Structure 1
Amino acid sequence: MRKIILSTESGADLPEDLASKYAVQVVPMHVIMDGKDYLDGVLPVEEIYDYYGRTKKIPSTAATNVHEYQELFTKIRADYPDSIIIHIGYTSKASSSFQNANIAAEELEDIFLIDALNVTGGLAAIVLYAATVLEKEPTIEPERLVEKIEAVVPKSRLAFTPGSLDFLRAGGRVSNMAYLGGALLKIKPCIELKDGKLVSTKKYRGKMMGVSEKLFQEYLTEYNIDREQLYFIYSIGLEDSIKQRMDELAKEAGFQHVRWIQAGAMISTHSGPGGFGIAGLEA
């Protein structure tokens, strides 16, 4: 039976231990500061926060390019001869990364590319779903696995709120007037993935503890999330007391397994420190 290999981008924020466990191949996206190109997944997130502290600017980000995908797919075939590759990619609505993967795969055989229409924990949830299906059914036909993954893509739900509006303002995503009003009223937007696009859907007022609880309650009201697995996403700076409270609420809601995922450099460039998010798959 030919081996199936899964791959994705660093923008999935897939924890290293899980990538290793399931042999998921992760290709880096890019963060650019002071004209220098850094690899997402390698660059410590704290350096982004330090850069903002010095300059009051956020870095720019860039997609994985065609050459990097060619190297990734070539390496997979070298490491796993006669393998079948299934690449589950960062949403095509927010990056050219998936388009570049398609270009790189044009002359390759036995490779499937799936647009996850999601990012960070929402993308990781899909990748890990594929990995667990493959673990349970190691002889599954690749076409059948692709069908299963494509069926779960629209069921992946991600909601995220930043710790503050500072990084959104620096990136031009909120006006100075909206920033001042939001800062005075302690307003935080809820960002969700809608049809693959990042959209501000709600606004919360108050401290991060209360905002996180409200976000979680409304998330569970809006989506019928499978209680087997839930993912919490955080950017460095989120208080431990909030994490503990979210764990308690998840247990009370009946979730069997909860995994915390740290937002990497790519995501943190836009969300800033102290952010909180939730991802899961609808039943």
Structure 2
Amino acid sequence: MMIKITADSTCDLSPQILEQYNISLIPFHILIDDEDFRDGVDITPKDLFRYVSEEGKSCRTAAINVFEYENFFKEFSPNYDAVIHISLGSGFSSTHQNAKIAAEQFENVYVIDSQNLSTGSGHVVLEAAIMAQNGAQPEEIIKHLEEIVPKVDTSFVIDTMEYLRKGGRCSGIEAFGATLLKIKPSIEVVDGKMIVGKKYRGNFDRCIVNYVKDRLENNDDIDYSRVFITHSYCSPETVQKVRVAIDKYAKFEEIIETYAGCTVSTHCGPNTLGILYKRKSKK
């Protein structure tokens, strides 16, 4: 069967992976003051950081609407036996519901709630694409995705809370206090929602290495097939330290580095880094 895998741009997979597995993305909206940009099409994270830091503009995200999804699915539905779309988690945005409504217009379009963001969703997308390339049937793929969705472990450490403050997700006092005390909070996805995890303190590189240790050391619930290092343009030196720390505490078969897109970057800002992997069990 000819099966097409599609996803929201928020999955943060690299262009190489998208091309290798013929994955197509529909872009989220990034609103800079009154201007509307499409994630990864009209704007990159580096553009976004410049707008905010140098020009003092505000940024926020907006969901993909039903009409956009209908037009997107219309491109692929006639040419494939099945289209399987993996959406940003329903706990973060209305996009999943909008995609579901749009899919009702097609007999062969299926929408999966990743219950996640960034390469937490990316794990689900990549699993689907590998299975489709290996000739799996749509029912097999959908069943497998539903099994792995609750097993994906997603977390990030952010260097500055300024973007969270500007997005209304923390107060100015909290952001100021975090800056003053050099606090680098970790953000975790639990049950399809973001929560604040452990708060690290000090130099970002030291915090990020301690974070990797906390996630991986003495953890017997890790699926070692793959881990993503996803970041918003951290320095190569920082990323290398993370690679070394991962190798020290866990032996993954594959380490994939990707850049966080504009959706994550809008809320978390520059110097955000996470390691995202699958667990053996559901939590």
Q: Give how far 1:55 is off.
A: 4.9
SS in 1 for 2:160: coil
Query: Which residue identity does 2:128 align to in structure 1?
Result: A
Q: 1:246 aligns with which of 242, 247, 264?
A: 242
The CA RMSD measured in Å over matched residues stands at 1.5
2:6–2:25: 8 Å Cα contact kept in structure 1?
yes
Q: Look up the match of 1:75.
A: 75
8 Å Cα contact 2:4/2:80 also seen in 1: no
The residue correspondences of 1:174-253 to structure 2 (distance < 5 A) are: 174-221=170-217, 224-236=221-233, 238-252=234-248, 253=250
Q: Distance in 1 between matches of 2:80 and 2:99?
A: 20
AA of the residue aligned to 1:77? S
Structure 1 consecutive aligned stretches of length 4 or more whose deviation exceeds 6 Å: none
Give the aligned residue type for 1:255. Answer: F
- Please report the TM-score for the alignment, with normalisation by the length of structure 1: 0.93
Secondary structure of 2:222's aligned partner: coil
Stretch of structure 1 that moved more, 116-125 or 33-42: 33-42
1:60 aligned partner: 60
Deviations 1:111-153 (A, max 9, x none): 2211000000101011112222233x31x22112110010000
- Return the letter of the residue paired with 1:186: K
What amino acid is the match of 1:118?
N
Partner-residue secondary structure (3-state), 2:31: strand
Task: Evaluate the alpha carbon distance shift between residue 128 and residue 39 of structure 1 in structure 2; reply closer, same or farther with a 3 A threshold.
Answer: same
**Conserved 8 A contact 2:10-2:261:** yes
Q: Counterpart of 2:174 in 1: which secondary structure?
A: helix
1:173 paired residue among 169, 172, 187: 169
**Contact 1:58-1:167 at 8 Å conserved across structures:** no
Q: Secondary structure at the match of 2:163?
A: helix
Which secondary structure state, in structure 2, belongs to the residue aligned with residue 226 of structure 1?
Answer: strand
Written as runs of structure 1 = structure 2, the 5 A alignment for 1:131-142 is: 131-135=129-133, 137-138=134-135, 140-142=136-138
- Structure 2 unaligned regions, length at least 5: none
Between the aligned partners of 2:166 and 2:57, the Cα distance in structure 1 is 6
The DSSP-based 3-state class of the residue aligned with 2:37 is strand
Mean Cα deviation higher: 147-156 or 101-110:
101-110
Contact (CA 8 Å) 2:32, 2:57: kept in 1 or not? no
Distance 2:33 2:44 in 1: 16
Aligned pairs for 1:21-32 within 5 A: 21-32=20-31
TM-score normalised by L of structure 2: 0.93
How many residues align? The count is 277
Q: Which 5+ residue runs of structure 1 have no aligned equivalent?
A: none
Give the match's secondary structure for 1:118. Answer: coil
Task: Tell me the SS of whatever aligns to 1:200.
Answer: strand
Assess if the C-alpha contact under 8 Å between 2:3 and 2:80 holds in 1. no
Q: Does the residue aligned with 2:277 lie in a helix, a strand or coil?
A: strand
CA-to-aligned-CA distance 1:75-96 (integer Å, 9 cap, x gap): 0124xx2420111110011101
SS in 2 for 1:122: helix
- Percent sequence identity is 32
Retained in 2: the 8 A contact 1:69–1:104?
yes
Q: Name the residue aligned to 1:45.
A: 45
Q: Which residue of 1 aligns with 2:150?
A: 154
| 1:57–1:170 contact (8 Å) kept in structure 2 | no
Distance apart, 1:172 and its partner CA = 1.8
- For residue 223 of structure 1, report the CA deviation from its aligned partner: 7.0
Contact 2:231 2:274 in 1 (8 A): yes
Q: Which amino acid aligns with 1:74?
A: K
